[in-house]
Amino acid sequence: MSYRGAYSAEGLTSRPAASGGEVQLNMPSASDFDVDDEVEKLHGKVSMLKQMTGAIHEESGIRGKLIDQLEETMSQAGEALKVAQKEMKKAFKSGSSWHLCVLMMFCLALFLGFYVLYRMGKFIRFFTG
């Protein structure tokens, strides 16, 4: 008992026989199978695949450029960070705590001055107003 091959709507199929190494092919009739029609279908599929590969190539190129730009930006940021760290180290080494104390006292005096002026303005408005 052997299996007989059958054709599909898209072309020929073959199935091996149950016994031995025989292969049976059944060719569809000329009215059911048109070679030119099948070639046109294949040509359409090949064209579609060509367009898809072109789009994939273009997309991968764009993504590659974006990755290159990101790498360049990250390296620039790393360099800027190194420069800022060097400047901070230099500032901490050269600066003393005395400068920081003077700055804090100045800020405190400025705040107290504005506070006193604000309170005096309320005091003056209370008696004039």
Same domain, 88 and 113: no
Domain count, the chain: 3
Q: Which domain holds residue 12?
A: 1-32
Cα–Cα distance measured from residue 20 to residue 73, given in angstroms and rounded to the nearest whole number: 67
Question: Each residue of 51-73: pLDDT tens digit?
Answer: 999 999 999 999 999 999 999 99
Least confident of 31-40, 78-87, 92-101, 106-115: 92-101
- Same structural domain, 27 and 59: no
Tell me, yes or no, if the pTM score tops 0.85.
no
Whether residues 68 and 90 fall in one domain: yes
pLDDT at residue 29 in the model: 65
Residue 77 and residue 55 in one domain: yes
The partner residues of 24 in beta bridges, in order of sequence, read: 15
pLDDT tens readout for residues 22-56: 777 676 665 666 788 889 999 999 999 999 999 99
> Do 120 and 106 fall into the same domain?
yes
